[in-house]
Structure 1
């Protein structure tokens, strides 16, 4: 099998397929300099796709990105709207799905990132688990949401529109608006969105799985719990996590990864996963790992 491509199209650009999910920078809240240094290290390693959100660390993470990026870095920053910080609540997020809330969230992101345009903004619909679900007045029609998202794109506040936590039906309805990427929970052990991934391949839409190793909530299956993954990792001299990430890159050409970490060593391992090559037999062995429904796992 030939080496997988190190880069792939994303929102009209070509970026490295292993990016960085900035949520874990919140763990460095008490050491801002370390957070900035870690992000700079990611960029030095070739990472040019950073995924963030206003609610990560209640604006802390966006501030770190603002401080870390320099003119000429040419980094694609992707944020998301559809939920806002709720630091005093039992869950530190609250749904924010109504059109005026989406616009306010984009404006907040622009301010805390210190930029005039965000490369991509994902509309996190909250249609699927795991995570928050929209209820009551937060159940908003897709067309109303896309109207304000496309307006902000026309105004230049957003470079491109993505979707997150959506169903196949919602993606199909949204296609005429021009969708750059889809972020859904997806991993070797949770592949119920295979039909959606195939549609994204056909439509040249980037597939950016969150929870790429599963197991982000209690009861969810974990890639690193699979004996086959450990066997492959030992035979190739890599970690089970690296094998799980590399499988995603082999599985479809439009996959972009955004693994997060708060340590330099783990960051380097994640980036190195992009260079792992499987032969046909190894890939077939991993492909045979059963997929487990996340909804069933969560009860």
Structure 2
């Protein structure tokens, strides 16, 4: 693939896979509540092809629970046969019970329901291989840590699948994020090359985890890098800050993350080609260390909304 004006600098994932640090999160290319196929399949295909073939994005994040399964299938339909340098990260280990289980205000919804049973994970890996039509998944992440199953048992099965050539690299995700203690525990069983945590300009509670990941050459993948849209919507408090650089609030939020650590891989999601192109423009923004600090300080003064209190309350009530 020939890099173009939107191709960001790169990260060496797992020591052998070079990926552009501004990738794409495909989660929203599904139906309501991340359930079922996308309402407009032609648009979903167009977005994916534009990301990869026009913008030079070569890291796509998905999961078996998005659909379930439909998200992986639309990626296959849009992009298979895949470019040689395309890295698709998928995840497993989270149950779905219907379209309302991921809706924030649905009463009684079991928002997070992990399942780390090794037999279940083996089944899910096989299904992801089939849906994506690949022989080996480049990066497979445990989607959520199951407190009812020893982590060594869960990850041990992924290591066996790795030994069998069905997984290349293993990553770890959790709700709202992987702690340093959990990461160290996981490293006793598997080589963890990536973690996926809630992190954005308004929510920097995991700064210590980011530092640990950076120092140990582990990719840090922020989910909700735009705060579930709350940082960049109409009337965004980021707008006057972004105007100082002549960029949009979403470009500012993403550029800040790219400059926060060289280990960060971004996966902003959208269902719009223009919005996708706007997001990709963040890779052209250049900030010096003083500007990175100033933006964080301005964001703190603006009182930007954090999704973590909502997320924590729902986990506690699950």
**TM-score after normalising by structure 1:** 0.86
- Structure-2 residue corresponding to 1:79: 90
CA offset digits 1:206-257 (Å, max 9, x no partner): 00000112247xxxxx434897632221122211111111100000011000
Q: Is 1:111 the counterpart of 2:130 in the alignment?
A: yes
Q: Is 1:100 the counterpart of 2:110 in the alignment?
A: no
Q: Which consecutive residues of structure 2, in runs of 5 or more, have no partner in the other structure?
A: 1-6, 32-36, 103-110, 314-318
RMSD: 2.5
1:285 Cα shift? 1.2
- Structure-1 residue corresponding to 2:139: 120
> Aligned partners of 2:76, 2:165: CA distance in 1, in Å?
19
**TM-score after normalising by structure 2:** 0.81
> Aligned partners of 1:256, 1:31: CA distance in 2, in Å?
28
- Paired residue for 1:223, among 231, 234, 242? 231
Alpha-carbon spacing, 1:93–1:125, altered in 2? closer, same or farther (3 Å): closer
- Structure-1 residue corresponding to 2:223: 210
Kept in 1, the 8 Å contact 2:64–2:124? The answer is yes
> Aligned partners of 2:179, 2:39: CA distance in 1, in Å?
38
Kept in 2, the 8 Å contact 1:54–1:85? The answer is no
Alpha-carbon spacing, 1:182–1:32, altered in 2? closer, same or farther (3 Å): same
> Aligned partners of 1:31, 1:293: CA distance in 2, in Å?
28
> Aligned partners of 1:93, 1:63: CA distance in 2, in Å?
23
- Paired residue for 1:175, among 174, 187, 195? 187
1:180 Cα shift? 0.9
> Aligned partners of 1:174, 1:85: CA distance in 2, in Å?
24
Q: Is 1:294 the counterpart of 2:308 in the alignment?
A: yes
> Aligned partners of 1:281, 1:190: CA distance in 2, in Å?
20
1:56 Cα shift? 1.1
> Aligned partners of 2:39, 2:310: CA distance in 1, in Å?
38
- Structure-2 residue corresponding to 1:131: none
- Structure-2 residue corresponding to 1:193: 206
1:87 Cα shift? 2.5
Secondary structure of 1:116's counterpart equals coil
- Structure-2 residue corresponding to 1:60: 70
Alpha-carbon spacing, 1:296–1:80, altered in 2? closer, same or farther (3 Å): closer
Alpha-carbon spacing, 1:125–1:93, altered in 2? closer, same or farther (3 Å): closer
Q: Say how many residue pairs are matched.
A: 281
Q: Is 1:251 the counterpart of 2:260 in the alignment?
A: yes
Determine which structure has greater relative contact order: mean sequence separation of CA pairs < 8 Å that are 6+ residues apart, divided by chain length: 1
Alpha-carbon spacing, 1:297–1:34, altered in 2? closer, same or farther (3 Å): closer
